[in-house]
Chains A and B, each alone.
Chain A
Amino acid sequence: MKPIFVKGLVGLVVLLPLIGLLPSTSAFNPRLLDTLTTTITMIVAATFLNHLIGYGAGKAIAFKTGRTTRLMELLISLPLFLPVLLLSFGLYLTWIRLGLADQFLGVLLVLLLPTLPYTIRIYTNGFQTLGEQMMEQMVLIEPNRFKRFFFLTGPMMRSSLQSVTLLVTVIALSQYALVTLIGGGVVRMIALEAFPLYSGNSLAAAKEATLWLIALPFLIYFVQLILFFIWVQLVRRLLDGRYDPARK
C-alpha cells in the first residue's frame, strides 16, 4: 500500500465522523452553565490531584527497583484491569457513611480510580525515557525540588504532563454511571446531562450537550498549550544562563 493512501484513509476515517457535530444553532441552554462549571471544576481538581500523586509515583516506579516497588506497580495498575464500576457499588455504601456520597470530593476521589493508573503509567514511561542519568544530572544542578521542577524537569516532561491532562479530562467526562451513582445527581457533570438525552426522544436535543462533551478536551488542551508556552518563556527569561557552568 502506498503511504499516501494509508495516510489519506486514516485522515478520512478519523475526521469524517466529526462533521455531524457542526453546530446548527447558537442557542445556549442556561442549565448547561451550572453543569459546565461543575464539570470544569471537577476536571481541574482531578487533573491537579492526578499530577500531584501520579508524578511521584511514576518517578518511583521508573527509578526504584525491588519487590516493594514491583508490588506497588501492580497494585496501582489494578483499576485498569478490574471492574471499577462494580467495585464502586461497595464504595458507595461506605461513602454514604463517611458523608462523601453526593459530594464533590466523593466523586473526585472515585474518579481517581479510572484515571490515576493511566497517569502513573504515562509518568513512568516519561521518566524512563528521560533516563536515570539525566535525572541525576538535574539533581546535581538544582537541589531544590520545586525549583528543579519549574526550571528543568517540568519543561522536559512537557509531553507527559500534557498527555496526563488530556487523559484525565477524557476519562472523567465519559463517566456517567460512576458519577450518577456516587454524585447522586447533585454533582452534575456533563455526562449526566447527555446520557438521558441519548436514550431520549430527540437526538437533536442531545447535540448541544455532546458538543461540549467533545469540545471540552480540545479547549482544555488548548489552554494547557498556552500555559506551557508561558511557562517555557518564563523559564527562558528567568534562567538567563543561570546553570551555564561557563558563566561561573
Chain B
Amino acid sequence: MMKPMIGLAAMGMLLAGCASPAAPVQEKVLGSSYTSIEKEANATTVRMYMWGGDEGINAYIDEYVTPKLKKEHQITLERVPIETADLIQKLRAEKKAGKKTGVIDVVWINGDNFRNAKKDGLLYGEITKVLPNMKYVDPQAQGSDSGTATDELEAAWGKVQYTFHYDQGSVANPPKDLQALKSWVKQNPGKFTYPEVTDFTGNAFVRHVMYGVESKETLKNPKADFKKTWAYLNELKPYLWKEGKTYPKTLAQLDQLYAKGTVSFTMGFNERRAEQEVKSGTFPKETRPLILDDGSIASTHFLSIPFNAPNPNGALVTINTLLSAEAQLKKFDATYWGDGTSLDLATLGSDAQMAFENVPAADSTPKPTEFKGKVRAELDPELFDVIRKEWPERVAR
C-alpha cells in the first residue's frame, strides 16, 4: 500500500530534477546583437505578466500584440493576469530560494514596484541598450521612473497624465481645484469617491491631494506628518459614496460606479482612457475631462525583464515590438486602449508622425493646452508606502 506514495515521491523527484532548461546566460544575451537575439527568440514562448482588470488593455494584447508577434517572430505570447506587486513578492521569494530559472519573461512595472525591484536586484540588466527601437523613445520619459533612475533596467512603454473625468449631465459647473472639489462633494453627498490606496490610481489621488495642500518642504520629506492631507481626506469622507465607510477596491470598480451613474467622477492616469469607454457605451456620452489647478501628475509606465527570466531573448523581442511606432499607434488610438505614447514623435518618419497626429481626440480627452503649467513630476516612491501605511489608520477606519 506504500506503492502510491513511492510513485508520487518518484514523480516529484523526476520533476524537481528536470524542472526546466536553464535560461541563457545574462552577459551573453545582453552582449549579443539584436539580430542574433531575434534569431534565438524565434518560435519561443514569452510570458508577460500584467494586471488584468481592464478589458481594453487585455484586448490590445490578446487581439493585436499576440497575433503580431506570432506573425513576425513565431513568438507565442502568454498574457498572465497577476498584479505587479504580487510578482515582486514572488521574485523576492525566488531570489531568496535561489531559483535561477523563473517563469516570468516580461513585467509591466513602474513607481514603487520598480524602485523595490531595482533595490532588491530583481531585474535582468541593462536591457534597453540592445533594443533598436529605443532610439524612438522619448529620453525624458525614459530618464526616471517616479524619481528613481531607470538605469536602462526598463523601457518606457507609455506616458500619461492623471486626469479626472466627469459626467457633464450631472455636474454643470465642475470644480476648478481641490478646495472647490471639497465644496462640490459636500453639496452632492455620495456622488464622489476614490479607489482605496492599495490601488495604483487611489494612491495617486492621495498624492494629488498632497500636491494641493502640503508645502514644498513637506513634500520632499517622506518622514513628515502629512496631517493636512489626512485632514482634507477626512473632511471629504462623510460625503463620499457610502459615507466613506468603504471605497472601491480598484479603479475598475470606480469606473463601474461611474458607468452606472452612482458617482459623477472617475479618475486615472491616462488622459485618453475615457474615449474607448464612451465609444462602447460604458461611460456616459457627456463624459468630459477635468484637470485641477493643483496639478496633474505625469506618469510613465515601463516594461522590464526579471532577473531569472527563462526566455530573455523572447522578452527583448517582445519589448522591442511593443515600442515600434506601429504598435504604439494602435495602443494610442481608441480601438482598444488609448494610452499615451512613450515615443518622441519628432524621431519618427513623417508618415508615422502624421498617423499619430491624425488620431482624433474625443470630447473626453483634454486639449494639450489644458495641461499648461499644471504638469507635476511624480513624488518620491517612498510616499506610496507612507500612504499605504497611514491612510488605512488615519482615514479609512
| Interface, chain A (partner B; CB < 8 A) | 29, 31, 34, 52-53, 56, 92-93, 96-103, 105, 109, 180, 184-186, 188, 192-193, 196-197, 199-203, 205
The verdict on A92 contacting B93 (CB below 8 Å), with A180-B86, A192-B81, A199-B250 known, is yes
Determine whether the beta carbon of B250 is less than 8 Å from that of A200: yes
Determine whether the beta carbon of B103 is less than 8 Å from that of A186: yes
A interface: dominant SS: helix
Closest to A206 in B: B55
Determine whether the beta carbon of A201 is less than 8 Å from that of B97: no
Determine whether the beta carbon of A53 is less than 8 Å from that of B249: no
Other-chain contact of B93, A93, A192, A200 (Cβ < 8 Å): A93
Determine whether the beta carbon of A196 is less than 8 Å from that of B51: yes
19 A-B pairs whose Cβ atoms sit less than 8 Å apart in the complex: A53-B4, A96-B97, A99-B16, A185-B80, A185-B81, A186-B80, A192-B80, A192-B81, A196-B81, A196-B82, A197-B53, A197-B81, A199-B252, A199-B253, A200-B54, A201-B55, A201-B253, A202-B282, A205-B58
Asked whether B52 is an interface residue with its Cβ less than 8 Å from the other chain, the reply is yes
Asked whether B90 is an interface residue with its Cβ less than 8 Å from the other chain, the reply is yes
- What's the A-B contact tally at a CB cutoff of 8 Å? 91
Determine whether the beta carbon of B55 is less than 8 Å from that of A202: yes
**Could you say which residues of chain B place their CB within 8 Å of the CB of A101?**
94, 99
**Could you say which residues of chain B place their CB within 8 Å of the CB of A52?**
4
Determine whether the beta carbon of B97 is less than 8 Å from that of A196: no
- CB B258 to nearest CB in A, in angstroms, measures 10
- CB B165 to nearest CB in A, in angstroms, measures 13
Determine whether the beta carbon of A97 is less than 8 Å from that of B97: yes
CA of A220 to CA of B51 in the docked complex: distance in angstroms?
Answer: 31
Other-chain contact of B15, A103, A193, A201 (Cβ < 8 Å): A103
Among A185, A193, A197, the one with the most B-chain Cβ atoms within 10 Å of its Cβ is: A185
**Could you say which residues of chain B place their CB within 8 Å of the CB of A96?**
93-94, 97, 99
**Could you say which residues of chain B place their CB within 8 Å of the CB of A102?**
102-103
The residues in B between 240 and 265 inclusive whose CB is less than 8 angstroms from any CB of A are: 249-253, 255-256
Please give me the 5 A-B residue pairs with the lowest Cβ-Cβ distance, nearest first: A200-B53, A185-B80, A196-B52, A99-B16, A201-B252
Determine whether the beta carbon of B55 is less than 8 Å from that of A200: yes
CA of A159 to CA of B255 in the docked complex: distance in angstroms?
Answer: 47
Asked whether B49 is an interface residue with its Cβ less than 8 Å from the other chain, the reply is yes
Binary A-proximity of B183-222 (CB < 8 A = 1, otherwise 0): 0000000000000000000000000000000000000000
CA of A186 to CA of B103 in the docked complex: distance in angstroms?
Answer: 7
Determine whether the beta carbon of B52 is less than 8 Å from that of A200: yes
Other-chain contact of A196, B53, B62, B251, B253 (Cβ < 8 Å): B53
The verdict on A100 contacting B15 (CB below 8 Å), with A196-B52, A200-B250 known, is yes
- CB A151 to nearest CB in B, in angstroms, measures 21
Closest to A184 in B: B103
Other-chain contact of B53, A34, A98, A199 (Cβ < 8 Å): A199
Asked whether B355 is an interface residue with its Cβ less than 8 Å from the other chain, the reply is no
CA of A56 to CA of B49 in the docked complex: distance in angstroms?
Answer: 42
Binary A-proximity of B226-244 (CB < 8 A = 1, otherwise 0): 0000000000000000000
**18 new A-B contacts at CB < 8 Å, known A105-B12, A184-B90:** A93-B93, A97-B97, A98-B12, A100-B15, A100-B16, A101-B94, A103-B15, A109-B12, A180-B82, A192-B80, A196-B82, A197-B53, A199-B253, A200-B250, A201-B53, A201-B54, A202-B55, A203-B256
Other-chain contact of A205, B55, B102, B104 (Cβ < 8 Å): B55
**Could you say which residues of chain A place their CB within 8 Å of the CB of B16?**
98-100
- CB B384 to nearest CB in A, in angstroms, measures 20
